Amino acid sequence: GENVEQHPSTLSVQEGDSAVIKCTYSDSASNYFPWYKQELGKRPQLIIDIRSNVGEKKDQRIAVTLNKTAKHFSLHITETQPEDSAVYFCAASINTDKLIFGTGTRLQVFP
């Protein structure tokens, strides 16, 4: 079955700096890769997703890149703000079916 690894587990940045979180997956059949932001005690919130027919997608300060050959994808947050502090999860699935999540990255943005 699919296995998703995520790094780093914690990430601290200064406000205004960029943050990058990386994930790798094992199943080459996976074609849908969402990223979620989860605040303490809340539901995961979809912030961006990418499908395997594109290599990059951007939405304002957030971008995701996908390398199908290497089976890895990354989340890039630019101009970080304190409100970006949360736990971020990557996930992989086939055709938006069951999601296999990474282990999460706790991002702290210091003012």
Q: Which residues bind another protein (CB under 8 A)?
A: 32, 34, 36, 41-46, 49, 51, 89, 96-104
Cβ atoms within 10 Å of 53's Cβ, excluding its own:
8
Residue 100 phi/psi, 5-degree rounding, is -105, 120
Residue 38 or residue 78: which is nearer to another protein going by CB? 38
Nearer CB in complex with another protein: 14/43: 43
Q: Closest approach of Cβ 81 to another protein, in Å?
A: 23
C-beta of 93: minimal distance to another protein in Å? 8
Query: Least separation, in Å, of the C-beta of 45 and another protein?
Result: 8
User: Are 57 and 67 a contacting pair, CB within 8 Å?
Assistant: no
Q: What are the tokens at 94?
A: 């086939």
d(C-alpha 111, C-alpha 99), whole Å: 34
- Token pair, residue 70, equals 């290497």
Whichever of 17 and 39 has its CB closer to another protein, that residue is 39
